[in-house]
Each structure stands twice: as C-alpha cells, then as structure tokens.
Amino acid sequence: MQSKKVLVIGARGIPDVEGGAEKNAEALFPLMAAAGYDVTVMGLRQYIKGEQYRGVQLLASPAFKFLNTDKIGYYLYAIYQVLKIRPDVVHLQGLGSAVFLLIYKILGCKTVVRYGSADYILNKWGVLGRLGFLFAEWQLRFADAVISVTPALSERLAKRGIRKNVHMIPNALDPAIVSDANLPLTSDRPFILSVGRVTYQKNVINLVNAFNRLSESHPDYDLVIAGGLDDAPYAEQLRPLLNDKVKLLGRVPRSSVPGLLKRSALYVNVSLHEGSSNATLEAISQGCSVLISDIPENKDMPLPGHHFVDPNDINAIAAKLTHGVENRQEYVVDKGSFLTWSNVAEKTIGVYQSLGTTRLEPVDQPVSA
C-alpha cells in the first residue's frame, strides 16, 4: 500500500530547536513516519541541519525576508512545495501557519491544524500581525481537522462557532532521562529553574522580582532561566533587576534541558499565556517539583490546586517559591494522568483516518527527548 504523504508547515525546524511547535514536531512526526506515513517537515534554513531525522524528511525554506520577517516568504514557499510534492495532508503546526489554509484546500489537500495557542492576544503583535492571526483563526472552520492542545483552547474556538472539526489532543510526557550532557552550569548552588524564551508572554520580570524577595530569606538559591533573549526591549526592562544570583543561560540545546531539570530544586513557569506547555511537561517527566501560573490552559493539566499561582501577584509568587523550595516533595507531580507521545501519535493517526487516510502500522516506538 502506498504511503500517505504529509507535509508539515509551521515548525521552524527539528531536531533540538527551541519552541513548542518544534518540540511537538520532533516528538510526534518520527512516530508517524514509523507508522508508515511519508512525512516531510519544512523549516527555516537556519534551523534545518540535515536531510532527515528519524525517518522524517527535512526541507529548508530559502532565506529571504519581507516586512522584516522571514515567515511570509516561508509560507509562500510552502505553497510552492505543496504544488510540487502534492501531499495528501498538509499539517499546520500553529495558528500563524494557517494563514493560507484556504489555498491548500483549493489545491486539493486535506488540512490538519495544530491549535497550540491564541498568539494574537499578546500585546507584542501590531495591527497587521493580529489581523493575520485572526484571519487564520477564522479559516479554521474550513480545516478538515483542528487539533486543540487544551480544553480551554477548544472552548475558545467553540465561542467562534468552530466545533465540529475540533479534536482535543494534549502534548505528552517524555521518558525520564538521567543525563548531565552539555550541562551549561558552572556552580553547584541549588537553583530554581525556568525554561522558555525571555519575553513578555513568559512573565520573566515578575518571576525575577519574586525571586529577589525569596533571596532575602533563602540567599543560598539561584534562579536559572534557560531561554533565548528573543525580545530585546523586554530584556532591557529586565536588566535592572538582575544580579549575580539570576543566571540567564540564553538558548540552550534541548539535550541539555533534562540535566538542568534533574538538578533543579523547583521548576517554575509563571507565563501569562501558554498552550499545552511542553517545558512544563518535560519538568513533570523528569520528576521535578513544579509551580505554574493559574491561566486556563495550565489549569487544564491534571494537577492539584497548590501547584498554581497568580502570575500577576509578585507577593504570591514569592510565597509559593518559598513554600516550594521548603516542601519540594509536595510539588512533585503524579505522571499517571498524562499521555505518552505514542498515545499522541495514535490519536493523531485516528484524526488522519477520519479524513480518509489509511493507517499502516501500529505506533509502539518510544520517543527520545
């Protein structure tokens, strides 16, 4: 039986590329390829380092910018590749990548959209950016399937009249890995860890302010932030709050994250906006003590109430950090209520089957972090 062709658009690249869409693509699509699908991931040239990854073909978009972004050129190049490859399924890894969804439909492709977050609610987007996201979201009603990663996001779509084609498939836990490979630390001091880009969305300023208050009673702890400094104006606002106990590692390879998580005293994510946070799931996978913001998408995770904190209340964050480092075991999460990536692949194949594609082999291969 001929393999079904799948073209994945919207992940900047795999493997070992920072970002939720990228982590999802790295974990999911090798399992889809192992099940018999002919999968190609199209990324940006600077993030594509080879021609294949674990059975997935890799394709680099040419590097050219328009209106100070490389994404528009990338999406236009994707249309060309759809005409060239003629995939059975175009799998769009985020809302932004659905901006030309109707064109893929006109070209005769089945369209599956991973709805990982409603990015347009963030203040960082200008008028054109917001309009682009809203236009992409409006088009989701015409997608053959939408994969929402949290019930809160499914409810957001339902309020916009998009219900019948929505499937809820959250992200998954990784196998626990014991590794200090490439650990980017030079100190043995205990530390609180945050993983994610240093942006307004990740609420790093409130986290650092809360940590500085914790330091008054617990001066032996550091705060380690592993994530790219992608938002230069926000990083400048953060700079006056920094001291020798706040370690900005910048972007780190994904292979370094398990070692950081294993060594941390507490993992914290006080984001103002998330989908199904892969960084938090990685922390749970590694058996970390976990503290996260009480936004709806985070509260969709099956965690007891004491794991959550108001991300806008610096005093509350500081108090929770204090309680967390003093009572670490209380903040360790039961892994039994979460999916594996093989479960996610099975559910995704079920979505493909509902569109008329054929399942070829069972999915039983473990996925590496």
Residues 282 and 349 in one domain: no
Hey, how many other C-beta atoms are within 10 angstroms of the C-beta on 361? 11
Q: Which of 82, 133, 119 is nearest to 104 (CA)?
A: 82
Tell me the per-residue pLDDT of 278-332, one tens digit each, with 9 for 90 and over: 999 999 999 999 999 999 999 999 999 999 999 999 999 999 999 999 999 999 9
Distance separating alpha carbons of residues 227 and 250, to the nearest angstrom: 5
Q: How confident is the model at residue 178 (pLDDT cuts 50, 70, 90)?
A: low
Instruction: Kindly state whether residues 132 and 59 are assigned to the same domain.
Output: yes
Q: Is residue 276 part of a domain?
A: yes
Is 178 inside any structural domain? Answer: no
Do 285 and 198 belong to one domain?
yes
In a domain, 109, yes or no: yes
Domain count within the chain = 2
In a domain, 110, yes or no: yes
Burial degree of 205 (CB within 10 A; 0-12, 13-18, 19+) = middle
- Shared domain for 48 and 163, answered yes or no, is yes
At residue 66, the pLDDT reads 63
Cα–Cα distance for residue pair 69/66, rounded to 1 Å: 5
The predicted model scores a pTM of 0.88
Long-range contacts: 14-17, Cβ < 8 Å, 24+? 14/41, 14/43, 14/53, 14/56, 14/58, 15/53, 15/254, 16/253, 16/254, 16/255, 17/43, 17/47, 17/254
Q: Does residue 185 belong to any structural domain of this protein?
A: no
At 176, the pLDDT band (50, 70, 90 cuts) reads confident
Spatial distance between the Cα atoms of 80 and 96, rounded to a whole number of angstroms: 18
Measure Cα distances from 296 to 18, 127, 273, 317 in Å.
23, 25, 9, 17
The pLDDT of residue 359 is 43
Q: What is the mean pLDDT of the chain?
A: 90
Q: Does 362 have pLDDT greater than 50?
A: no
31 shares its domain with 162: yes
Which of the four pLDDT bands, split at 50, 70 and 90, describes residue 78?
very high
CATH number at residue 331: 3.40.50.2000
In a domain, 365, yes or no: no
Helix (H) or strand (E) holding 135: helix 127-139
Structural domain span for residue 213:
191-335
- Domain membership of residue 26 (yes or no) is yes
**133 close to 101: Cβ distance less than 8 angstroms:** no
83 and 199, same domain (yes or no) = no
Region 12-37 average pLDDT: 94
Q: Do 277 and 349 fall within a single domain?
A: no
Asked if the model's pLDDT at residue 63 lies above 80, the reply is no
Q: Is residue 63 part of a domain?
A: yes
pLDDT, one tens digit per residue, over 117-170 is 877 666 666 777 788 889 999 999 999 999 999 999 999 999 999 999 999 999
Same domain, 32 and 141: yes
Whole-number percent of the chain with pLDDT over 90: 75
Tens digits of per-residue pLDDT, 96-126?
999 999 999 999 999 999 999 877 666 666 7
pLDDT category at 83 given cuts 50, 70, 90 is very high
The rounded distance, in Å, linking the Cα atoms of 359 and 350 is: 8
The pLDDT value given to residue 72:
84
Among 121-125, 231-235, 272-276, 357-361, which stretch is predicted with the lowest mean pLDDT?
357-361
